[in-house]
Structure 1
Amino acid sequence: MFADFLRRLTAPQPEQMPDGDARLALTALLVRVARADGQYEPAEVRRIDRIIATRYGLDETETNELRSHAEQLETEAPDTVRFTRAIKDAVPYDDRIAVIEALWTVVLADHERDEREDALLRLVSNLLGVNDVDSALARQRVEKAT
């Protein structure tokens, strides 16, 4: 189902993603982070749904459909390096900081920080080109809000 999307995502020179593809890629990244600790908790699913509904102005049906497609894509997607490279190329820096905040929101949805989630967030921040200071500030903002 996602063969063409994955082919474009992993091309040596990925092209700018259309909005729909960027939504799917970003949502799949949220799912990947939520699954990083080997558990995919209902609280994490609800948090992902809230993030994408708010970010993209989706109703419940559209939110469920996007997350469902993202869950499937995440299981089929290549390594995180190539996956995030395409997002980095498609999303402006300030929006990438917002992505990091959204990812931390998902990680902290179960009120636990797992070392696998932390490690993946450090990797993703780096791969998205978000510097350590901005990444740490994003985490701190999310911790204060939760």
Structure 2
Amino acid sequence: MFERLFPRRKKSPEPLPQPDAQLALGALLVRVAMADHNYKASEVGQIDRILSATFGLKPLEAAKLRATCEALERHAPGTPEFAQILRDEVDYADRKSLADAMWSVALADGARDDDEEVQLMAIETALGLTDEDIAAARESALRKN
């Protein structure tokens, strides 16, 4: 009865932060993991480990960053915009390392998926990686699994 008289107002969502290199990387990692429409705990854990190692974060800080990146990924611009942020702020050698990290997320669930591989190719291309470096990242990741 009280619910009809005093309906709860939905909290207005907090505005999303402006993407920087940290958020762009996290959002792209989430995008790769979600490409197969099956976001598994193993992929979440891998993303957290990558964010923690890359940015020197404690596990809880990495999980909070990932949660922000998940929201950003759902509501923010497409892959080219995120990749452009990384191209502007991250040197080429580190972008090559990002490709390796993204492959580790795609394969964290123990399965290869065409949708994830297509998403990875789009991201690697948008990051400005050469065809040779893209092939090397793929080959290295598949060899490890």
TM range (shorter): 0.7 to 0.9
Q: Which runs of 4+ in 1 moved over 3 A?
A: none
Aligned mates of 1:83, 1:53 — CA distance in 2 = 19
Aligned mates of 2:52, 2:110 — CA distance in 1 = 22
Aligned mates of 1:133, 1:50 — CA distance in 2 = 27
- Structure 1 equivalent of residue 18 of structure 2: 5
1:71 maps onto 2:84 in alignment: no
Alpha-carbon RMSD across the aligned residues, in angstroms, is 1.3
Count of matched residue pairs: 131
**1:119 alignment partner AA:** V
Unaligned segments of structure 2, at least 5 residues: 1-14
Aligned mates of 1:56, 1:91 — CA distance in 2 = 13
SS in 2 for 1:139: helix
Alpha-carbon contact 2:48-2:63 (below 8 Å) kept? yes
Structure whose residues are more often helix by fraction = 1
- Structure 1 equivalent of residue 5 of structure 2: none
Bigger Rg, structure 1 or 2: 2
Unaligned segments of structure 1, at least 5 residues: 7-20
Identity in percent:
42
Q: CA deviation at 1:33?
A: 0.6
With normalisation by structure 1, the TM-score equals: 0.84
CA offset digits 1:16-37 (Å, max 9, x no partner): xxxxx21111011100110011
Q: CA deviation at 1:134?
A: 0.5
Aligned mates of 1:80, 1:33 — CA distance in 2 = 10
CA offset digits 1:15-59 (Å, max 9, x no partner): xxxxxx211110111001100111100010011011111111111
With normalisation by structure 2, the TM-score equals: 0.85
SS in 2 for 1:110: coil
